């Protein structure tokens, strides 16, 4: 019934038990659960959740945002409801940015979510991490520095890339990974931000006093850091590293199509290894693919292999229409030596010729034997903007690699290039820079005259024409940074 759907059920306003029930029904009837919002094709919100609690601008264009009653009505009628008009959630003009921001890596606002539990003591230590790059300037604070103002290839930046505190960050990373695998995204993000700060310190932390005044480092976290400095380890990290549940959920979460909810269900059912999953778990089609190619998907590929993949896809694009613009983004565009996957962006200067080519392109590449597995099955037409799948180059001993192909309108080309090129740290920073100037930047465009009050955006502002990446940087008063100069960790 729900085949082809990769679903994300927003937790806001939905009890844990009901959310789990909805997710179980989705999976039972053929859907896959998204590991994050960026991989979702459908986002479901509680029937009573106000639309202004959803940050539409951070969602990919192709995602459908529906009320949860769509699931219930489909189940009741024993077939997928095709007329979604009465279930669709439209974007309001006035919206509050609270409900989704801590789920995405590239949001420009990461202030603490409403209803965050007071028991999250570890998260409190890093609260500044989620606001330091996003709040408006304060006359009582020193002038803010944005990482996007600095080239990652500068000598100073290069020196900062030497992690003088690896003995600390490696321990904190264990906690961040553990919280992420158990779906404690807020605490995970807090630790990630603290790790980011420590990695960029030009000196080694030697005492408690060295932590004082550091952005993202609070009193409790400073005590944890000092524990590491004194003993060489962190008791909490040791507990996580040897915790059966955390170890199992980390393992399961690396299966494509498996999120924290499913991983926890498997753990409760007694599953501990990938062999347990193969033998005992009820898997969706996507999860079967993710399990079959587990090692390949979780292994980075050398740049030369990524180049071969890019060339195959671009040749196929040119065969359809030689005037289409195609660019490989992500770590490949930043000229990294290895890549986790390949992201290819497609557009056309006329603003419309890109719209209906994705289906033909996927069919051609599949016929060649290049595309081997579709991770998201859906009707690929003018309204489908993203294909996610696996590919493999011809020849012996070749690996299956993750590939995303995205088509976008030309008027969003420059801002989409920035978004899909990264790094995630650079993107967060340049979005925050725009916000500090009364603007709003995301993959869909740059807008000026955006009014905010507290955590609430009061209007949409006006569009600023940005035909090139250079024009985006110029509008923000930044020197242009080439993709390799944006490789901030």
3-state secondary structure of 440: strand
* CA distances (Å), origin 295, targets 226, 250, 256: 37, 14, 11
List the catalytic residues. 224
Question: Which residues, 6+ apart, have CB-to-CB distance to 200 below 8 Å?
Answer: 160
C-alpha 82, offset from chain centre: 29
Sheet holding 440-442, edge to edge: 440-442, 445-448, 462-464
Other beta carbons within 10 Å of 338: 13
Sheet holding 95-96, edge to edge: 95-96, 456-457, 452-453
Q: Which residue has the tokens 């998907």?
A: 297
The residue among 203, 166, 207, 186 whose CA lies nearest residue 121 is: 186
Eight-state DSSP code of residue 88: B
Contact 49, 12 (CB under 8 A): yes
Other beta carbons within 10 Å of 91: 14
Which long-range contacts (C-beta less than 8 Å, at least 24 apart) are formed by 381-386? 381/356, 382/355, 382/356, 383/62, 384/62, 384/358, 384/359, 385/60, 385/61, 385/62, 385/358, 386/60, 386/62
Beta-carbon-side half-sphere exposure of residue 463 (alpha carbons within 13 Å): 9
* CA distances (Å), origin 380, targets 246, 267, 278, 285, 363: 38, 35, 30, 18, 10
How many Å apart are CA 345 and CA 386, to the nearest integer? Answer: 9
Contact 299, 399 (CB under 8 A): yes
Q: What is the dihedral of CA 253, 286, 375, 4, to 10 degrees?
A: -120
Structure token pair of residue 263: 């991983």
């Amino acid at each position: 019934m729900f085949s082809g759907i990769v679903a994300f059920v927003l937790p806001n306003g939905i009890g844990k038990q009901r959310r789990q029930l909805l997710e179980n029904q989705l999976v039972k009837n053929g859907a896959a659960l998204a590991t994050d919002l960026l991989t979702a094709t459908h986002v479901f919100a509680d029937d009573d959740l106000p639309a202004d609690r959803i940050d539409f601008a951070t969602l990919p264009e192709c995602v459908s945002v529906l009320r949860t009653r769509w699931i219930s009505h489909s189940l009741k009628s024993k077939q997928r409801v095709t007329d979604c008009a009465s279930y669709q959630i439209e974007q309001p003009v006035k919206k509050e940015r609270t409900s989704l921001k801590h789920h995405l890596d590239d949001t420009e606002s990461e202030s603490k979510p409403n209803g965050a539990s007071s028991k999250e003591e570890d998260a409190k230590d890093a609260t500044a991490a989620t606001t330091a790059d996003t709040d408006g300037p304060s006359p009582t604070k020193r002038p803010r520095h944005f990482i996007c103002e600095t080239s990652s290839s500068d000598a100073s930046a290069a020196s900062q890339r030497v992690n003088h505190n690896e003995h600390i960050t490696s321990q904190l990373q264990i906690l961040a990974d553990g919280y992420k695998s158990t779906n404690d995204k807020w605490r995970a993000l807090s630790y990630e931000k603290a790790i980011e700060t420590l990695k960029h310190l030009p000196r080694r932390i030697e005492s408690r006093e060295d932590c004082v005044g550091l952005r993202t480092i609070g009193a409790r976290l400073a005590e944890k850091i000092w524990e590491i400095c004194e003993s060489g380890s962190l008791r909490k990290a040791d507990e996580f590293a040897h915790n059966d549940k955390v170890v199992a959920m980390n393992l399961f979460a690396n299966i494509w199509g498996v999120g924290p909810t499913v991983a926890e269900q498997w753990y409760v059912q007694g599953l501990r290894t990938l062999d347990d999953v193969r033998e005992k778990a009820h898997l969706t089609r996507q999860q079967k693919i993710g399990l079959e190619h587990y090692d390949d998907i979780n292994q980075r590929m050398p740049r030369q292999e990524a180049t071969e993949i890019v060339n195959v896809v671009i040749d196929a694009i040119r065969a359809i229409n030689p005037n289409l613009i195609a660019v490989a983004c992500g770590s490949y565009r930043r000229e990294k030596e290895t890549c986790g996957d390949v992201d290819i962006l497609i557009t056309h200067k006329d603003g419309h010729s890109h719209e209906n080519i994705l289906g033909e392109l996927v069919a051609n590449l599949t016929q060649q034997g290049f595309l081997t597995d579709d991770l998201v099955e859906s009707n690929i037409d003018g309204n489908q903007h993203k294909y996610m799948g696996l590919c493999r180059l011809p020849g012996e001993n070749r690996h299956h690699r993750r590939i995303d192909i995205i088509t976008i309108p030309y008027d969003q080309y420059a801002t989409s290039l920035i978004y899909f090129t990264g790094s995630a740290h650079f993107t967060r920073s340049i979005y925050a820079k725009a916000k500090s100037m009364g603007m709003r930047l995301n993959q869909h465009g740059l807008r000026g005259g955006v009014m905010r009050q507290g955590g609430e955006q009061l209007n949409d502002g006006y569009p600023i024409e940005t035909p090139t990446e250079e024009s985006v940087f110029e509008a923000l008063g930044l020197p242009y940074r080439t993709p390799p100069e944006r490789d901030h960790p």
